[in-house]
Every structure is written in structure tokens, then in C-alpha cells.
Amino acid sequence: MEKNLLRQHFPMLPTRADLEELIRKSPALYTVFMEWSEEQQKEFLDFCTGERGVKILYDSFFKEIFNPETTPERLEELLSLIMKQPVKILQVLPNDSTRIADEASLLVTDIVVELADHSIACVEIQKVGYMFPGQRSACYSADMLLRQYKRVRSRKKKSFSYKHIKNAYTVIFIERSTKEFHQFPEEYLHYFTQKSDTGLELNLLQKYYFVPLDIFRKTIQNKGIQTKLDAWLTFLTSDEPEMILELIQTFPDFKALYEDIYELCRNIEGVMNMFSKELRELDRNTVQYMIDVMQDEIDASKKMLSEKDKLLSEKEQLLQQQALEAHLYSLLSADNRLAELGRAVSDEAFRRQLLEEYGLKN
């Protein structure tokens, strides 16, 4: 009995022995393969033979499956489910935006499309959630809006009106979300828009959808795949054969997507190059994430040390003051100024006067 669950449904998948032999016979492929760690070699062999599923969120696979030029209906359906409105992609826009700081290191995929109503939608996948996700997304959305304004104004020329500017949608999938999202452990789709506190309605154009995929993975384990959005997010996040089989049994149309992926995997040289590229990006992601976390920790440590230094300084000054006052009381007692001693204990202004009289200072 075939133990490989996925090969039972996708017979084009090679056996592990056949794939290893193919790699060994090619000096070029074998050289690349041996540059990987044992864990990376195992991951590659696992997804190419169906021992595990392919990680769809790898940039190369995602762009192949969701290519808005060749298979727009896939991205259209995913966006329609997230945005809860029909979405039709009109064209793919060049992503010539200037990135805020050096963001490419943490950003895996970035696709910008123009929808049928001429609004703009940007789809991002982040391996690691950025610090300050709200502020960063607002800046990026503003950048998209400005790009649309320049493009429309150039096209309309003298007939341009601000009514021609359409919504800018930012859809962000986050593999490892930041702590803000984990305050809502049951929610994996967050929608943001600008609203008035009076009920006045104005379209301020910028809309945001955040999808913390790590939270989705936790919730889906308890409830199972129920909706089409569940199905798409499972497709994006799960490489477990059992979950993949549950997906294609519940929503059979997803089998065609996996067939496309495994046909892609039959080009071993191409998929090895894709995997090598992903490993390089993961290394950069890890380094950048560590730098960000370390900088955050350094800043917190500096703040804590500064507060400690301030407390120590205040404590030192207090001890010095107490020593001066004790010396003052001793001098007053020696001079038999007992009434003034009693008053100095309770009257701070009088105590300062006596300290000056005796020339006692910090």
C-alpha cells in the first residue's frame, strides 16, 4: 500500500529514490544540492516527492499560482473573499514604488494590480511582521495613492478631477504576526478604514486588510475547513498532507492548483533554482529580523538603564542630604540649640536656613 498520501492523488510525483538518483547524475544539480544543509535537503526532497506539501507562500510558487496576467481568476477570487465584494483585475501595474527604508529584506511577495473600477490593490506577503505595522502600512498606502494620482492626472490632463481617484486597498498576509494581532487570538482577518466620530461619511480612499496567517493556522485546527476563504488560506499555509487531502476533498477545484504546482516541480533544475533563491531570502529575512529585534532590545535596555541611573542618582542625593541633616542635628545638639533642633526636624525651610548658616552643602 502506497504510504505517500499525496502521490496517491498526484501520480506525477517522483519517488524519493528516483529524485535522488536524478540529482546525483547531474553534476550541476548535485553541486547545488550539496550546498544546502541536511534540513534543507530534506525539505526539498519532501515537497518534490509529496512527503509534504509545497510551501505556497514561497515567492516563486505564489507568483506562479497567482499570476494575475495568466490566471487572474485565482487572485480575483481570493481578493473578493477578503474584501467581501466582487473583484475584477484590469491590469498588473509595475511595482516601481520607492520602498520605505530597506523593506525588501522582510517582504516576500508584492503584487500591485488595478481593479475594474480603477482602484488599486496591493497584495503583500511578509515572512515576519514589521515593527509598527499600522504606521508602515499607512505610509505605503499613501505612496500607492500618490502613484495613482500621478498616473490619472497624466492620463486625464486638463479634464482631471479628484473624483477620478479611486480606492487604494492594501492586503497584507503575515506569516509570523506581531504581538498586536495576538491580542485577538480568534481573529485572522482585520479590516481598517478611516471613519468620522460624528457619523459624517467621506470616502478617504485608503483601505487595509491584515491577515495574520499564524493565527489562522491555530483556529483552523479546531474548526476545520468550512468556507471558501478557509480553503484559500489553508492552501496558502498548510504543507501537511492530511490537511491538503481534506482541502481537495472539501473543495475539489483546488486539486487543479496542486497539479499545476507538481507539474512545475517536475522541472528539477528550475525548482532547485527557485528553492535556492527562497533560502537566500530566508537568510536575509532572519538576519534583518534579528537586527530589528536586537535593536528593539537595545533601545529597551538603554531606557531601563537610564531610568536606573536616574533612580540611583536620586537615591545618592537623598543619602547625601540625609547625612548633612544628621550632621546639622549633631552640631545643633552640641551648641545646645535644642529648641531650634526640634523645629528643624519638621520645618524644611528653617532646616535649609540652618544648613546655610553652618555651611553644610552637597
Q: pLDDT of 254-267, one tens digit each? A: 999 999 999 888 88
Average pLDDT over residues 142-157: 90
Q: pLDDT of 86-108, one tens digit each? A: 999 988 887 654 444 444 444 44
**pLDDT exceeds 70 at position 282:** no
Average pLDDT over residues 334-354: 80
Residue 144: the pLDDT is 87
Q: What angle do CA 169, 103, 140 make, to 5 degrees?
A: 25
Q: pLDDT of 198-213, one tens digit each? A: 999 999 999 999 999 9
Average pLDDT over residues 325-342: 79
Torsional sign, CA 231, 234, 235, 239: negative
Residue 110: the pLDDT is 72
Residue 307: the pLDDT is 73
Q: Which residue has the cell 515593527?
A: 131
The per-residue pLDDT of the chain, averaged, comes to: 84
Residue 18: the pLDDT is 94
More confident residue, 243 or 324: 243
Q: pLDDT of 48-58, one tens digit each? A: 999 999 989 88
* Of the candidate ranges 4-18, 97-111, 235-249, the one whose mean pLDDT is the lowest: 97-111
**pLDDT exceeds 50 at position 6:** yes
Residue 169: the pLDDT is 93
- pLDDT classification of 251: cutoffs 50, 70, 90: very high
Q: How far apart are CA 157 and CA 151, in angstroms?
A: 10
Q: How far apart are CA 268 and CA 21, in angstroms?
A: 12
Highest mean pLDDT among 18-22, 125-129, 147-151: 18-22
Residue 192: the pLDDT is 95
Residue 225: the pLDDT is 93
Give the domain ranges of the chain.
53-266, 301-357
More confident residue, 215 or 111: 215
The overall longest dimension of the chain from CA atoms, in Å, is 106
Average pLDDT over residues 28-41: 92
Q: What angle do CA 39, 40, 43 make, to 5 degrees?
A: 90
Q: How far apart are CA 152 and CA 145, in angstroms?
A: 11
DSSP for 102-150, written as a single string:
S-TTTEEEEEEEEETTS-EEEEEEEEEPPSSHHHHHHHHHHHHHHHHHH
pTM of the model: 0.74
**pLDDT exceeds 50 at position 342:** yes
Residue 47: the pLDDT is 92
Residue 216: the pLDDT is 96
Q: How far apart are CA 33 and CA 347, in angstroms?
A: 83
- pLDDT classification of 294: cutoffs 50, 70, 90: low
More confident residue, 336 or 132: 336
Residue 130: the pLDDT is 63
Residue 143: the pLDDT is 87
Average pLDDT over residues 113-141: 81
E strands, the chain, are 89-92, 107-115, 120-128, 168-176, 190-192, 206-212
DSSP for 9-20, written as a single string:
H-TTSPPHHHHH
